[in-house]
Copies of this chain bind each other. A is one copy, B any other.
Amino acid sequence: MRLIECVPNVSEGRRADVVAAPVQAIRSVDGVRVLDASSDPAHNRSVFTMAGDAGPLKAAIVALVGAAAARIDLRTQTGEHPRLGAVDVVPFVPIDGVTMADCVALAKDTAAEVATRFDIPVFLYEDAASSPSRRNLEDIRRGEFEGLAAKMTSPEWAPDFGPPRPHPSAGAIVIGARMPLIAFNINLATDRLDVAKKIASAIRHSSGGFRFVKAMGIALEDRGIVQVSINLTNYEKTPMHRVFDAVRREAERYGVAVLESEIIGLTPQAALVSAAEHYLQLARFSSAQILENRLRDS
């Protein structure tokens, strides 16, 4: 099985009929499964989660851009969430039987097709980025749609595909490839917020910790405890067990115990299997030994 996840973000979360069009567009593509569609009126944004192989996903994104760009005009769109385009961001995420390189190739292929067909500029980001300054979505999106025309006059912000100026109503699209993100929180058996903040600081990349960890310390007021709230942006290179053990050791230094951890939302199977392999010291294990995988692939 070759399985890629794709999570397009569209800049419309209020008008049901406008949201329905791109959903209908992706649902109509054979080989694409739509797992989730959620709209946020305050953000005026919708996020669709779908999965499939490269060919069907590319077709689905082309259909989605056609449906969304025809109905969303950023000149009149407002909302809390920053955005650059009618279709704002399209990440491809490797799940099973595909590499990151496959997803980067798919991102570029899709970007070229969309830019040509709809005359919309496309920027590549994350693992598909054409330079380090374009890896972060926030850097590309800074200034938003309203500042885009001026931003694109700089050679530094020439698009990777398409015309050297925003589409009048649909702006630009950011397309890329990234690892699945795991929201992994670790709750401490204490109400000392300073301890959670110190541990978050110790493990996160921005202050000297693990390369693929974003973290902050927060209070869970209703439970009288604190939490190290973690985003793991690459569970293969910075695995859950390493982060968990580091948090436990840091907490011990303050005389604090780990109460529990939790995963919010979805996680790839491999992230959990990798933890089991680590702690059980499993050697020579293959995911093909998991009965459900064997059944699925047979």
Taking Cβ atoms with an 8 Å cutoff, the residues of A that contact B are 3, 5, 33, 35, 51, 95-96, 180, 187, 240-241, 244, 258-263, 265-269, 272-273, 275-276, 278-285, 289-296, 298
Contact = CB atoms under 8 A, between A and B. Distances in A.
Contact of A261 (B266, B280, B298): B280
Q: What is the copy number of this chain in the assembly?
A: 2
A293 B33 CA distance: 13
SS of A interface (majority):
mixed
Given A241-B279, A280-B241, A290-B272, A295 B262 contact: no
Contacts of A276: 240, 272-273, 275-276, 279
A263 B281 contact: no
Contacts of A284: 262
Contacts of A282: 260-263
Contacts of A263: 282, 285, 289
Contacts of A3: 292, 295
Contacts of A289: 263, 265-267
Given A260-B283, A267-B291, A276-B276, 6 more contacts: A5-B291, A241-B279, A244-B279, A268-B292, A276-B279, A296-B296
